[in-house]
Amino acid sequence: MPFLRQARAAVRADLDAAMRRDPAAHSRTDLALNSPGLHAIWSYRLAHRMWERGPRWKPAARLLSTVTRAATGVEIHPGARIGQRFFIDHGMGVVIGATAVVGDDVMLYHGVTLGGRSLQRGIKRHPTLGDRVTIGTGARVLGDIEVGDDVQIGANSVVVKDVPAGAVATGVPAQVRFPHQPHEDPYDALFAEPAIFI
């Protein structure tokens, strides 16, 4: 029973987060039925629980993640660690690697990759994202790097180095800047750095 209560609370929190972040969403029911990003994260949470139970459960966890990828276009390895109120807008083409760590209240757009740059086994190969990070369409965040809290990564950027908290990273390779003013208005930021938008 505690698991079911936790699962229901997590689903409600995910739906509330999606409603806040998706201006096209009409209702929680609409999101629950039609959001591949939410379907992928809910499936991931089950696969991750299976993965954590030990070696005997890992093949089933991988199978579930493969079926989910086929159904949603989102590939999340069950070994990844993802925080609360995670949202993937549009979903298609997102890839999250096995050793990735994602904080709370993170938002990814379609086509984002949290990938590795090493083929070595048994090491952390994927990025760690802090809380409240937003990553734009098509961005690639690669390697065992740290992305701090409240970072924005622009569409189609390629990030291969640490990004400090509160920064904006855009370009190939990504260049880091800090907003000119605390709590910079995203509309004003559009003119300074168009790539942070989709």
In the chain, the amino acid numbered 126 is H
Decide: 76 and 42 in contact? Cβ < 8 Å.
no
Run of H or E including 170: strand 168-170
Among candidate residues 77, 110, 126, 180, the one labeled active-site is 110
Task: State the SS3 of 107-158.
Answer: EEECCCEEECCCCCCCCCCCCEECCCCEECCCCEEECCCEECCCCEECCCCE
Query: What is the C-alpha to C-alpha distance for residues 79 and 86, in angstroms, rounded to an integer?
Result: 16
* Helical (H) or strand (E) element with 64: helix 58-72
Distances (CA, A) of 79 to 44, 107, 120, 130, 145: 9, 19, 16, 18, 17
| Bridge pairing between strands 134-135 and 81-82 | unpaired
Active site residue 183: no
Active site residues: 110
